[in-house]
Amino acid sequence: MNVPSPAAVRQAGAVVALQGTALVVVAATLVVRHLAGTEDPPWLSGYGTAGWFAIMGSALLAAGWALWTGRRWGRGIAVFAQLLLLPVAYYMAVGSGQWLYGIPVGLIAIATLGLLFSRSTLEWLGAQDPASADRSEPDTR
């Protein structure tokens, strides 16, 4: 019997899935722009950047789905992504002066990290699964 995931885990899963969806939409937009003949700046390779966004978006969608359905492996991907977003948010706000974008991105990343490290999430992670490899008796399920 699996321990049901707490609301904080499902909420974090929803946020991470939305972040993944946003990245996939950006990837699709870049491909459509490139196919339409839009001239990209030199630092933006249309297909390469779209591929990167598609891969990262797919990973976040998978992590969000995993968290939503109570699978523990999604948390590592989600934490890593939020930690990567913090310096991005800092650069957006301070480095390029885009406070309107940087502050919400940073706040969402911090809030999601708060959900992923909340007491209920940590208790859920620490709950012993009856079919764990740490048990010495055979699995009878």
Question: Whole-model pTM?
Answer: 0.83
Structure tokens at 65: 């789905």
pLDDT 10s digit of each residue in the chain, 141 long?
Answer: 467 789 999 999 999 999 999 999 999 998 898 888 877 776 667 788 899 999 999 999 999 999 999 999 999 999 999 999 999 999 999 999 999 999 999 999 999 999 999 999 999 999 866 555 555 666 566
| Domain residue extents for the chain | 7-126
Helix ranges, 73-98 (H): 74-90
Q: Coil, helix or strand for 130?
A: coil
The token pair at 97 is 């002066």
